[in-house]
Copies of this chain bind each other. A is one copy, B any other.
């Protein structure tokens, strides 16, 4: 095999009380990528459709992730990457992660899968480092593994995949405003109270329990972020109204996707997720802010070969 086409999915990081540790994989939105072997060594970004992103491999998140993997695997040939970006940059649903994870997944596959998807995570993280300055795994891990992924620790990297209950659906609304990562970070308080930390621990523990036991009600009761959402939501227009609308429509809970501006809700069943979508959309419709809307099951396995 010298050519592969893949679907590389969008992802939600910072799943509410899982700030900085829990992500999930979406299924209905993602990039398409085609990677083929090429004669010269190294990585060439052949084409990017749908986004104005660097074609120089060293400046492209997919290129950097691919180069990190090639440095490790040392194949005797190179690769060409074409990307059709469907995930908008800056949306907060893992646009850079999809490119980085997709590139390493495809190359590993073309080389006969010497590494497991979990082992690919550190290479994909190099793409994230280029994109945001921090080699975080919150989005590349769910893109590569599917389901929910817990980053228990970075040193050493310890990732636990947790299957999602089958009827769990995500709704994501992306208000098309620019939210600078620097601004999203600057509002975060470096110091918090022990009390809030223990409440967050109770909720993340409840959420994990709910995922293992398919307890949708418990999942909903646990979806509260004490630490970051209360200070970050002000950067997202109508955040509280969007969340209330989703809950009123029957969603279990929700929060800020990644560092925003997308807002997500989780629901039991596609119909409720669709109702939540309509309710969330109606809030933004009143503002005139353009938005994109996604309703998606939780993708159980991550990147797919097309």
Contact = CB atoms under 8 A, between A and B. Distances in A.
B204 A205 contact: yes
Contacts of A52: none
Nearest to A209: B160
B191 A19 contact: no
A205 B200 CA distance: 11
A213 B161 CA distance: 11
Contact of A150 (B162, B190, B194, B209): B209
A194 B189 contact: yes
Given A194-B190, A197-B192, A227-B194, A221 B21 contact: no
A202 interface: yes
A158 B217 CA distance: 12
Most chain B CB within a 10 A radius of its CB, from A150, A201, A202: A201
B198 A19 contact: yes
Contacts of A202: 20-21, 150-153
A200 B197 contact: yes
A207 B153 CA distance: 12
Interface in A157-207: 158, 160, 162, 188-207
Interface in A206-259: 206-209, 212-213, 218, 221-222, 227-228
A203 B20 contact: no
B152 A227 contact: no
A18 interface: yes
Contacts of A20: 198, 201-202
A266 interface: no
A22 interface: yes
A150 B197 contact: no
A73 to B, nearest CB: 28
Interface of A: 17-22, 150-153, 158, 160, 162, 188-209, 212-213, 218, 221-222, 227-228
Given A20-B198, A208-B212, 11 more contacts: A150-B202, A150-B205, A152-B218, A152-B222, A153-B199, A158-B206, A191-B192, A192-B194, A200-B201, A208-B208, A212-B212
14 contacts: A20-B198, A150-B205, A150-B206, A152-B203, A152-B206, A152-B218, A153-B199, A153-B202, A160-B209, A190-B194, A190-B195, A191-B193, A204-B205, A212-B213
